[in-house]
Amino acid sequence: MVEKEVAMLRFEGVWKVYRMGRVDVVALRDVSLEVGEGEFVVVLGPSGSGKTTMLNIAGGIDRPTRGRVFFKDLEISSFDEKGLTDFRRNHVGFVFQFFNLVPTLTAKENVQLAAELVDDPMDVDEVLEMVGLKHRANHFPFEMSGGEQQRVAIARALVKRPDIILGDEPTGNLDFETGKKVLKVMKEINEKMGTTFLIVTHNTAISRIADKIIHFRDGRVFGVEINSNPIDPEELSW
Amino acid sequence: MRTLVLKNFRDLRAQKWQFLAVTFLVFLGVSLFTGLYSSYLNIKATYEKFYSETNFEDFGLFVNPAPKRLLEKIRRIHGVEAVVGRITAYGTVEVGGKEIMVKLVSIPRENSKVNSIYIVEGVYPKGNEALILKKFSDRYGISIGEKLNLRVGNRTYTLRVSGTACSPEYVLIWDMSKRSGVLFVPYNVMEKITGLKGKVTEVHVKVYSDVDEVMSKVENIFKPYGIKKAYKKKDQPGYKLLRMDLKGFEHTALMFPSMLIIIAALATYVMLSRVVMGQMNVIAVLRAIGYSKTDVILHYLTYPVLIGVVGTVAGIFAGYWISSAMTSSYVDVLNLPYYVSKIYPNVTLVSVSIGMLAPIIAGSFTVKSVAEVEPAVAMKGIAVERTIGVKFERFSIMTRMAIKNVLRNPKRTVYTVLGLAMGVVLVGTSLALIDSVNEMMHVQFDKINGYDFKVECSNVKGIRALNDVKEAYPIVETWIVFERNGITEESTLIGLPVQDLYNIYDLKGRRHFPPPKGIILPEYLAKKLGVSKGEVIKAFTKVGVVRFEVYDIFPQPLFPACYANIDQLERMGFKPNYVIVKGGNENELKRFGRVTSIKDVRKDVEEMMSMMNEFFAFSVLFGVTLASAMIFNTVTINIMERRREIATLRMLGYTVREIGESILIETFILGFFGILLGFPMVLGVLKFFETTYEGEIFKMPFVIYPQTYALTTAIIIATVLLSLLPGMRYISRMKIEKVTKEVTG
């Protein structure tokens, strides 16, 4: 187990307002939160509560309207386009609900796509082995199951040796058993490699594997729980 | 970035037909531009080289027989570089059992320094020898050493062919060798043949200073003997027609390829926008995992760059091949002994620029706009969800899908419609040009020339007395030079009685009659002189200086001329010099003078037009190919873009036919607007051609026959239907499970 003291990600009074036609839609209202280094954090909330918006801002693919976001000592909310691209490239891994693999590339090539962005990536075959897909390396996405595709997506996120992996409903499109397998892979990476995980989901059951649970509703954080006894994903049921 | 390159290739392989179709468009545009424009430059360079090598005259005079010694006087005029005096006559030679008319042109003992003879084969003639125009020798297989039986008037002569030759005066854009030839005969022989000892009937001069000044001095020398015609280089018939033809060639070489390149750019935009929009999620992922905006732009720009490079390189190679073939066949008709065919760095540079830039610029608009989208927004797919909120409840769901698809991206729809309209322009314009040639022939030979023969004589009574002659009228046909505000323009003056054999028609097909007084001018001439109806204009004629009131001005089709009433001309001193005849026997008429058969003239003009018609037919084929490529692109990309939607529809139980109908409706909507927009554009292009093919020799009556509208529409619709076939085959063979899996991919 790695030391989990230093705040890796910090939101300070973050607001996000979208202009939809003539109406302003507030997605985040004065959100402040912290994610410690090496933590496995689950953000829980119903659909439309603003958790994906928060995740996008955390990953540098969206910007806050107001407030500040820090990654370690860096204020990423003040970064320009290039700064955000470098931040995503060197520090962040993404896992999406719909996997978002490039359909014309094989599993291995999808992982290579990310590996080529950094100077010291992990070995692509090794990463695929870690997610249990070495034997599927040369298969195209349409030749794989949903669970396998999501594990390729995790390998793609992991290969860059990111500081943090952000997951947007990573099991949302998977059946129960497959979902558990994916979470198990994530949890193992967190424990063995110390990679920080920030997962957003509406599935309450998943929160039991987290070190910290942040509750979201109506664009606000309305509670933070510390889970001193996170369970093994194998024990999950929903 | 190796993997991104790999993705490029995989994407290209997955959509190879669409990429190939767009590349083909670029290829067509570049090859046509390179081919046509370098052909134009080759032909220009060829005739410039030939005119320069053969010392083409700066001006010429046709005079009544005048002493040859006057040439010495001309040589002494300041500014004269070279002069040649000639005797010319007409006769016939017997070739292959046929009597063919020949023009006999005297040549000095040594090749002259003006209008020099270019010997293709053989030697310069001596004694009873003659050089024969190469085209004429080729046509009748007349070989060197062969003896020709020449008849001039009632006397016969034998001339030995010493060689074949070309002359700058006989560079003609149509081949007249079937009905007439030219023999270059030593001056002393011509003196004997014509009886014009020590005389000249033509003078050709090359100058090194001001042409007008020298010409005026030379005219003064020959005035006492009578000048039949004086012309400057620019008015030499062969040279004038060639320049006019080349001007049209240049316009065509620029216009058609430009249209193609615009179409290629539009097609690239449409194709790439569909490809890129379809990969919105992939772009979002690339951005999310750390690829920069520039990385994404460069990645997607690879496609237009590849399209540009492949299309341009192949197009340039094909273009120069086309150019060489086209130059060779064009020059063959021109009666030139050689042709210049080379690679033009400027043309290559322009080809590379337009071939590369058009797809890249078009592509970069799409790519840039997509790369600008924030990854979080792209992930949600907002940019591809745009629709216009129009309700079509009364239509079936499949029809509504087709309509919504058209409205989904108005900008792309507009570009597609524009591309289809360009296809209509190419097909429609080419067909309309064929219509125009037919219309011109119809007006000239079915309406204007109602007579069968034109006989060079004034004995109308004698001709009327012949058995088979139904009608015969005297006419005046002579040269006329107008002068107004320092501008001089030469034309033909025709004096007609009121009759029905030689009618005056304007370009719109309206009949006019010989004016009671004054003169009718062709529109081009009035424009050049800046004269309008009612004004009085001064003219030089064979009867001296005369003044005419301009009675009317209108555009005329083939052979525009100035028309006046024969009675008025006779009062001025002109004498009827031709008789137009309906019916009659050509051989009997020959007794009265030189006979021109309208049938033969029509055949000659048709031969001249046949080259133009071949070009137009090529354009039709080209237009159809292009329209097919454009429509094929639209249809197949449409199917590829919506393959998930189509797979879902098939999964729901829709048949291939039902889905096909929906795509057909969508394509027809686009096609309908393409056709609707295309026809006014066709009219615009024809208007442009109207200004291009306007001149002294002919003016095209640009028309579109109603059946051409129908035929163009039918061609476009047939192309649409054919283009649907590969797409429909894809749908019927689609692996539904594979495509639907991409939904989650």
pLDDT (tens digit per residue) in B218-256: 999 998 988 878 888 888 878 887 887 788 778 778 877
* Whole-number pLDDT of residue B176: 65
- Per the CB < 8 A criterion, the answer to whether B548 and B497 are in contact is no
Chain B positions touching A160 (Cβ under 8 A) are 289-290
| Mean pLDDT of the B442-458 span | 88
Considering the domain architecture, whether residues B559 and B686 belong to the same structural domain is answered as no
Helices B280-289 + A81-91 axis angle, to 10 = 80
Q: How far apart (Å, rounded) are the C-alpha atoms in residues B701 and B694?
A: 10
What pTM was estimated for this model as a whole? 0.71
Distance to chain B for A110, nearest Cα, Å: 8
> Is the pLDDT confidence value at B333 over 90?
no
Q: Is the dihedral of CA B414, B416, B419, B420 positive or negative?
A: negative
Specify the higher pLDDT residue, B199 or B448.
Answer: B199
> Is the pLDDT confidence value at B541 over 90?
no
pLDDT band at B383 (very low <50, low <70, confident <90, very high): very low
Give pLDDT tens digits for A121-166: 999 999 899 888 999 999 988 888 888 988 899 899 989 999 999 9
* Closest CA in chain B for residue A89: B290
Considering the domain architecture, whether residues B581 and B730 belong to the same structural domain is answered as no
> Is the pLDDT confidence value at B490 over 80?
no
> Is the pLDDT confidence value at A202 over 80?
yes
Label the pairing between strands A40-44 and A196-201: parallel
Listed residues B185, B219, B253: the one ending a domain? B219
Residue B38 lies in a domain: no
Residue type at B659? Answer: I
- For A173, which of B7, B375, B744 is closest by C-beta distance? B744
* Whole-number pLDDT of residue A3: 47
Residue B321 lies in a domain: no
* Whole-number pLDDT of residue B175: 62
Q: How far apart (Å, rounded) are the C-alpha atoms in residues A156 and A146?
A: 15
Distance to chain B for A150, nearest Cα, Å: 10
Q: How far apart (Å, rounded) are the C-alpha atoms in residues B677 and B664?
A: 19
> Is the pLDDT confidence value at B120 over 90?
yes
- For A61, which of B2, B10, B376 is closest by C-beta distance? B376
Chain A positions touching B741 (Cβ under 8 A) are 141-142
| Mean pLDDT of the B276-300 span | 84
Using CA atoms, how far residue B181 sits from B69, B105, B410, in Å, is 29, 11, 63
Structure tokens at A231: 């369970």
Domain span including residue B582: 457-593
Element (H, E) at B651: helix B643-652
* Closest CA in chain A for residue B280: A100
Tell me if B6 and A85 make a contact (CB, 8 A cut-off). no
pLDDT band at B622 (very low <50, low <70, confident <90, very high): confident
CA of residue B680 relative to chain centroid, distance: 21
Listed residues B578, B593, B608: the one ending a domain? B593
Considering the domain architecture, whether residues B637 and B710 belong to the same structural domain is answered as yes
> Is the pLDDT confidence value at B509 over 60?
yes
- For A56, which of B376, B738, B742 is closest by C-beta distance? B376
- Per the CB < 8 A criterion, the answer to whether B426 and B259 are in contact is yes
* Whole-number pLDDT of residue A33: 94
Beta strands in B167-270 (DSSP E): 180-186, 199-207, 227-232
What's the number of domains chain B is made of? 3
Give pLDDT tens digits for B44-95: 999 899 999 999 999 999 988 999 999 999 999 999 999 999 999 888 888 8
Q: Which residues, listed in sequence order, are joined to residue B597 by a DSSP beta bridge?
A: B453
Strand order in the sheet with A74-75: A23-36, A7-20, A66-71, A74-75
- Per the CB < 8 A criterion, the answer to whether B100 and B140 are in contact is yes
Let me know if B745 is exposed, middle or buried by CB neighbors in 10 A (0-12, 13-18, 19+).
buried
Tell me if B744 and A94 make a contact (CB, 8 A cut-off). no
- For B738, which of A142, A149, A173 is closest by C-beta distance? A142
Residue B179 lies in a domain: yes
Chain A positions touching B643 (Cβ under 8 A) are none
What CATH code is assigned to A38-59+91-235? 3.40.50.300
Considering the domain architecture, whether residues B551 and B629 belong to the same structural domain is answered as no
> Is the pLDDT confidence value at B377 over 90?
no
Considering the domain architecture, whether residues B492 and B586 belong to the same structural domain is answered as yes
> Is the pLDDT confidence value at B745 over 60?
no
Tell me if A160 and B375 make a contact (CB, 8 A cut-off). no
Give pLDDT tens digits for B415-435: 778 878 888 887 888 888 888
Specify the higher pLDDT residue, B179 or B574.
Answer: B574
Each residue of B442-471: b (16+ CB within 10 Å) or e?
ebbbeebbbbbbbbebbbbebbeebeebeb
* Whole-number pLDDT of residue B178: 63
Structure tokens at A27: 């997605």
pLDDT band at B590 (very low <50, low <70, confident <90, very high): confident
Residue type at B526? Answer: A
pLDDT band at B735 (very low <50, low <70, confident <90, very high): low
* Closest CA in chain B for residue A62: B376
pLDDT band at B651 (very low <50, low <70, confident <90, very high): low
- For B11, which of A59, A98, A104 is closest by C-beta distance? A104
Each residue of B564-578: b (16+ CB within 10 Å) or e?
bbbebbeebebebbb
Judged by a CB distance cut-off of 8 A, whether residue A71 touches chain B is: no
Judged by a CB distance cut-off of 8 A, whether residue A88 touches chain B is: yes
Considering the domain architecture, whether residues B429 and B498 belong to the same structural domain is answered as no
| Mean pLDDT of the A111-122 span | 89
Prediction ipTM score: 0.77
Label the pairing between strands A164-168 and A196-201: parallel
Least Cα distance to A39 among A231, A204, A191, A208 occurs for A191
Distance to chain A for B7, nearest Cα, Å: 6
Using CA atoms, how far residue A21 sits from A53, A66, B490, in Å, is 19, 20, 71
Distance to chain B for A90, nearest Cα, Å: 7
Q: How far apart (Å, rounded) are the C-alpha atoms in residues B38 and B341?
A: 8
pLDDT band at B181 (very low <50, low <70, confident <90, very high): confident
Judged by a CB distance cut-off of 8 A, whether residue A25 touches chain B is: no
Judged by a CB distance cut-off of 8 A, whether residue A104 touches chain B is: yes
Specify the higher pLDDT residue, A158 or B259.
Answer: A158
Secondary structure of B314-331 in HEC code, one letter for each residue: HHHHHHHHHHHHHHHHHH
Specify the higher pLDDT residue, B656 or B123.
Answer: B123
Lowest mean pLDDT segment, chosen from A41-50, A169-178, B53-62, B673-682? A169-178
Considering the domain architecture, whether residues B613 and B727 belong to the same structural domain is answered as yes
Residue B313 lies in a domain: no
- Per the CB < 8 A criterion, the answer to whether B553 and B504 are in contact is no
Using CA atoms, how far residue B163 sits from B53, B70, B188, B303, B643, in Å, is 19, 30, 18, 59, 72
Considering the domain architecture, whether residues B423 and B547 belong to the same structural domain is answered as no
- Per the CB < 8 A criterion, the answer to whether A49 and A219 are in contact is yes
Let me know if A190 is exposed, middle or buried by CB neighbors in 10 A (0-12, 13-18, 19+).
buried
Q: Kindly list the domain boundaries of chain A, sorted by start residue.
A: 38-59+91-235
Q: How far apart (Å, rounded) are the C-alpha atoms in residues B107 and B53?
A: 17
Residue B228 lies in a domain: no
Considering the domain architecture, whether residues B546 and B612 belong to the same structural domain is answered as no
- For B14, which of A89, A104, A146 is closest by C-beta distance? A104
Residue B296 lies in a domain: no
Chain A positions touching B745 (Cβ under 8 A) are 99-101, 103, 141-142, 149
Give pLDDT tens digits for B101-112: 888 999 998 888
Considering the domain architecture, whether residues B488 and B635 belong to the same structural domain is answered as no
| Mean pLDDT of the B376-392 span | 53
* Whole-number pLDDT of residue A38: 93
Residues in B whose CB is inside 8 Å of some CB of A read 1-4, 6-7, 10-11, 14, 281-282, 284-293, 374-376, 379, 738-739, 741-742, 744-745
- For B741, which of A93, A94, A142 is closest by C-beta distance? A142
Structure tokens at A111: 């992982």
* Closest CA in chain A for residue B379: A100
Q: Which residues, listed in sequence order, are joined to residue B202 by a DSSP beta bridge?
A: B62, B86
Q: How far apart (Å, rounded) are the C-alpha atoms in residues B203 and B65?
A: 11
The residue behind tokens 């989650």 is: B744
Tell me if B745 and A81 make a contact (CB, 8 A cut-off). no
Q: How far apart (Å, rounded) are the C-alpha atoms in residues B140 and B636?
A: 55
- Per the CB < 8 A criterion, the answer to whether B60 and B202 are in contact is yes
Tell me if A98 and B744 make a contact (CB, 8 A cut-off). yes
- For A82, which of B287, B292, B379 is closest by C-beta distance? B292
Mean pLDDT of chain B: 84
Listed residues B561, B593, B625: the one ending a domain? B593
Structure tokens at B257: 């390829």
* Closest CA in chain A for residue B15: A104
Residue type at B697? Answer: I
In sequence order, which residues have a C-beta less than 8 Å from that of residue A62 and are 6 or more positions away?
A16, A53, A56, B374, B375, B376
Label the pairing between strands B227-232 and B59-67: antiparallel
* Whole-number pLDDT of residue A5: 55
Tell me if A94 and B293 make a contact (CB, 8 A cut-off). no
Chain A positions touching B374 (Cβ under 8 A) are 61-62
* Closest CA in chain A for residue B1: A116
Let me know if B678 is exposed, middle or buried by CB neighbors in 10 A (0-12, 13-18, 19+).
buried
Considering the domain architecture, whether residues B96 and B204 belong to the same structural domain is answered as yes
Chain A, chain B: beta-carbon pairs less than 8 Å apart: 101
Judged by a CB distance cut-off of 8 A, whether residue A92 touches chain B is: yes
The residue behind tokens 């280094």 is: A37
Residue B373 lies in a domain: no
Residue type at B576? Answer: P
Judged by a CB distance cut-off of 8 A, whether residue A141 touches chain B is: yes
pLDDT band at B634 (very low <50, low <70, confident <90, very high): low
> Is the pLDDT confidence value at B391 over 60?
no
Q: How far apart (Å, rounded) are the C-alpha atoms in residues B192 and A214?
A: 120
Considering the domain architecture, whether residues B556 and B615 belong to the same structural domain is answered as no
> Is the pLDDT confidence value at A56 over 50?
yes
